């Protein structure tokens, strides 16, 4: 409430731009743009937008339209409603250009969320990153600089020169250093407010996973064989959300975002090709061929998977928008720039999650 007792004043969101193209006036651009063909609305709408460069209440704005702008009542209301759509007006207190998170605040407001609430949720969130390689680097720096309150970095590896094509937070001087510790050092330089813990090690069984600190979300980018299944079992059992991000040769892949008891889990659908269980000899041969697999890692494809996964993590933890990887595994085929989605809805007979009920995590996300 405003001190006067009415609704608080609002301002025109700084991301609102107006333009005319092919006889249509566009108010805002992107997924919430409005197109206005009725030329009679153009002038009062632009006048009203200009009026809202300063904080105004709705009543003040309507007085402005009907007074100085000489717009009759019904049209003034129509113009007002147009400007109130598409998240064009935000609370005057929602945007402080001096705040370090102010540009992200605009993004959250554009998505229809209360930016201050999103930022508070992120500040109270803890993400555990299993793997501090290419994807771990970029997701970690995205979350730390976005204001996620705490990160735990888990990796047993040490930096090698061949990592530098995509693990951008490491330098030549880091060669031989622990990845999780080198990454932590770089994150602290960028946001000292983020609480960072490092673990030099690689979980290989369910007991190792249980020994890790509990988090609001696990981001898994380590490529150890069988790890995704183990993480899924652990997270479903403990009620922790988790997200896998990787690349499959030239395809950037992320998802499904597993929220135990609410979404499908890794075991609900067969998401990856496996060796034939009914042909052990052939399976052994396939295993021998696959054992020599070396990922053709590529910086840009790595960035693609990292950025889309990080955006979903922020959506889930911050509670704005809807994560793209809910109940599906997403792939961007980088050469042809097409998007593939594998359904990953919940199977009521899933051996892993059939009996699991929704947990009440601190971050339920936008489900
Ligand atoms: Zn399941």
Domains of the chain: 10-94 (3.90.930.70), 105-343 (3.40.50.720)
Which residues are 18's β-sheet partners? 27
Handedness of CA 22, 28, 34, 39 (dihedral sign): negative
230-258 pLDDT tens trace: 999 999 999 999 999 999 999 999 999 99
Query: At a CB cut-off of 8 Å and minimum separation 6, what does 270 contact?
Result: none
CA 58 distance to own-chain centroid: 33
* 203 Cα: distance to centroid of ligand 1 (angstroms): 22
* 363 Cα: distance to centroid of ligand 1 (angstroms): 20
Return the residue matching tokens 């061929």: 289
Neighbours of 300 (CB within 10 A): 10
Query: At a CB cut-off of 8 Å and minimum separation 6, what does 240 contact?
Result: 214, 215, 216, 217, 218, 234, 260, 361
Query: At a CB cut-off of 8 Å and minimum separation 6, what does 29 contact?
Result: 17, 19
* 123 Cα: distance to centroid of ligand 1 (angstroms): 30
* 272 Cα: distance to centroid of ligand 1 (angstroms): 15
Mean pLDDT of the 100-123 span: 97
- pLDDT at residue 6 is higher than 80: no
* 273 Cα: distance to centroid of ligand 1 (angstroms): 17
Query: What pLDDT is recorded for position 364?
Result: 47
Query: At a CB cut-off of 8 Å and minimum separation 6, what does 31 contact?
Result: none
Return the residue matching tokens 């840009």: 300
Neighbours of 358 (CB within 10 A): 13
115 vs 105: CA distance, rounded Å:
5
* 142 Cα: distance to centroid of ligand 1 (angstroms): 29
In this structure, what token pair is assigned to residue 110? 């554009």
* 183 Cα: distance to centroid of ligand 1 (angstroms): 33
Pairing of strands 328-333, 251-258: antiparallel
* 309 Cα: distance to centroid of ligand 1 (angstroms): 21
* 352 Cα: distance to centroid of ligand 1 (angstroms): 5
Query: At a CB cut-off of 8 Å and minimum separation 6, what does 239 contact?
Result: 260, 261, 359, 361
* 245 Cα: distance to centroid of ligand 1 (angstroms): 18
* 224 Cα: distance to centroid of ligand 1 (angstroms): 21
310-336 pLDDT tens trace: 999 999 999 999 999 999 999 999 999
- Strand residue runs (E) in the chain: 10-12, 18-21, 24-27, 34-36, 89-91, 126-130, 150-154, 195-199, 217-220, 241-248, 251-258, 328-333, 338-343
* 259 Cα: distance to centroid of ligand 1 (angstroms): 10
Average pLDDT of the chain is: 94
* 93 Cα: distance to centroid of ligand 1 (angstroms): 43
* 244 Cα: distance to centroid of ligand 1 (angstroms): 15
* 334 Cα: distance to centroid of ligand 1 (angstroms): 29
Q: Coil, strand or helix: which one is 192? A: coil
Query: What pLDDT is recorded for position 366?
Result: 40
Query: Are the C-beta atoms of residues 93 and 52 closer than 8 Å to each other?
Result: no
* 43 Cα: distance to centroid of ligand 1 (angstroms): 55
150-182 pLDDT tens trace: 999 999 999 999 999 999 999 999 999 999 999
* 128 Cα: distance to centroid of ligand 1 (angstroms): 21
268 vs 279: CA distance, rounded Å:
23
């Amino acid at each position: 409430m405003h001190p006067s007792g009415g609704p608080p004043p609002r301002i025109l969101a700084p991301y609102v731009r107006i333009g005319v193209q092919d006889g249509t006036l566009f108010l805002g651009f992107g997924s919430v743009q409005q197109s206005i063909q009725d030329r009679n609305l153009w002038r009062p709408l632009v006048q009203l937008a200009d009026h809202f460069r300063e904080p105004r209440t709705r009543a003040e704005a309507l007085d402005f339209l009907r007074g100085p702008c000489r717009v009759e009542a019904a049209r003034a209301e129509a113009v007002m409603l147009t400007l109130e759509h598409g998240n064009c007006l935000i609370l005057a207190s929602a945007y402080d250009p001096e705040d370090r998170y102010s540009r992200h605040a605009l993004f959250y407001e554009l998505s229809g969320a209360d930016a201050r609430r999103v930022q508070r949720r992120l500040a109270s969130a803890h993400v555990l990153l299993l793997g501090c390689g290419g994807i771990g680097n970029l997701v970690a720096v995205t979350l730390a600089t976005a204001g996620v309150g705490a990160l735990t970095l888990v990796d047993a590896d040490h930096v090698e020169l061949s990592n530098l094509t995509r693990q951008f937070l490491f330098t030549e001087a880091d060669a031989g250093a622990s990845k999780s510790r080198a990454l932590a050092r770089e994150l602290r330089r960028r946001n000292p407010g983020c609480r960072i813990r490092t673990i030099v090690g690689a979980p290989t069984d369910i007991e190792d996973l249980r020994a890790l600190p509990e988090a609001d979300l696990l981001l898994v980018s380590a490529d150890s064989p069988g790890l995704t299944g183990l993480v899924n079992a652990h997270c479903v059992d403990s009620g922790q959300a988790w997200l896998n991000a990787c690349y499959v040769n030239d395809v950037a892949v992320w998802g499904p975002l597993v929220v135990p008891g609410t979404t499908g889990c890794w075991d609900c659908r067969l998401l990856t090709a496996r060796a034939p269980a009914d042909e052990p000899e052939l399976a052994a041969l396939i295993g021998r061929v696959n054992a020599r697999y070396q990922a053709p890692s590529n910086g840009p494809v790595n960035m693609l998977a990292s950025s889309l996964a990080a955006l979903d993590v922020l959506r889930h933890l911050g509670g704005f928008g809807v994560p793209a990887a809910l109940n599906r595994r997403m792939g961007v085929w980088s050469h042809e720039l097409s998007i593939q989605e594998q359904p990953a809805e919940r199977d009521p007979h899933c051996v892993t999650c059939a009996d699991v009920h929704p947990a009440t995590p601190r971050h339920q996300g936008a489900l």
